[in-house]
Amino acid sequence: MPVVLITGANRGLGLEFARQYAESGWKVLATCRDPAGAGDLHALRASCPALEVHPLDVADFATIDALAGRLAGRPIDVLLNNAGVFGPKAHAEGDRRQEFGSMDYGIWAEVLRVNLMAPMKMAEAFVEHVAASTQKKLVAISSTEGSSPNAKGGIHAYRTSKAALNMLMQNLAPDLAPRGIVTAAFCPGWIKTRMGGPRAPLEAPPSIAGLRRVIDGLTPERSGKFWLWTGQALPW
């Protein structure tokens, strides 16, 4: 039974990944900040008993080490860095704290910690679990907001965090190739979630089904690249 570990699995895209992998017969290690409040995950566990729920705040690196320790000796085929934060939304809420002239540097640091540094910490903490697996995949949910065609001004914290995440996944590929681990970054499209908002054109299920197909098809030759949920290679 292949194993996937998902961060931020309690809602949005992470929850849909958990649902689809669990219903496809995978062992799902679903992690979230507040397991007690993760009602949808517990409901999913009722029909998919192989699903496990583990506490993990990816901004708290000690909890990452603690979880890696508790899971020591358990192979993880796909380590899926999904948890992410957008930061203040000028377009929706008029909050300009990631806009030029009113940048909040504390918020920028928080966004970089969750979206960029945490995936690096996850890679360092879980490298042995992934290397011990059959599929050996380390992936991250990024965004085309972090690619050059979207350098349209504004949204600095989120855009720079995802551009740097794309570089991290590409830069880790040669580091991890000797262990047989492949890496990738993905854009799910613009999806109706709390982050994507109600105006988003896409629902989560087809995007996550597409992303699972792209993850299934990852090979060493494709390692380090940035992909759309459709399987199209993306520039960044």
Ligand X SMILES: NC(=O)c1ccc[n+]([C@@H]2O[C@H](COP(=O)([O-])OP(=O)(O)OC[C@H]3O[C@@H](n4cnc5c(N)ncnc54)[C@H](OP(=O)(O)O)[C@@H]3O)[C@@H](O)[C@H]2O)c1
Candidates 30-38, 44-52, 170-178, 222-230 — which segment interacts with ligand X by CB under 6 A? 30-38
In the list 2, 14, 88, 210, the residue contacting ligand X (rule: CB under 6 A) is: 14
Look up 158 and say whether it is catalytic.
yes
Give the Å distances, CA to CA, from 204 to 40, 163, 184, 211.
Answer: 15, 23, 20, 10
Site for ligand X in 141-200 (CB under 6 A): 141, 143, 187-188, 190-191, 193-196, 200
Burial of 22 (0-12, 13-18, 19+ CB in 10 A): buried
One-letter amino acid identity for 214?
V
Classify the phi-psi angles of 154: left when phi > 0, otherwise alpha if psi is within -120 to 50, otherwise beta: left
Candidates 9-17, 68-76, 119-127, 215-223 — which segment interacts with ligand X by CB under 6 A? 9-17
The answer to whether the CB of 62 falls within 8 A of the CB of 54 is no
In the list 5, 6, 18, 85, the residue contacting ligand X (rule: CB under 6 A) is: 85
Euclidean distance between CA atoms 68 and 58, whole angstroms: 12
Q: Which of 158, 226, 229, 236 is catalytic?
A: 158
Residues that bind ligand X (CB under 6 A): 7-8, 10-14, 32-34, 56-59, 82-85, 114, 141, 143, 187-188, 190-191, 193-196, 200
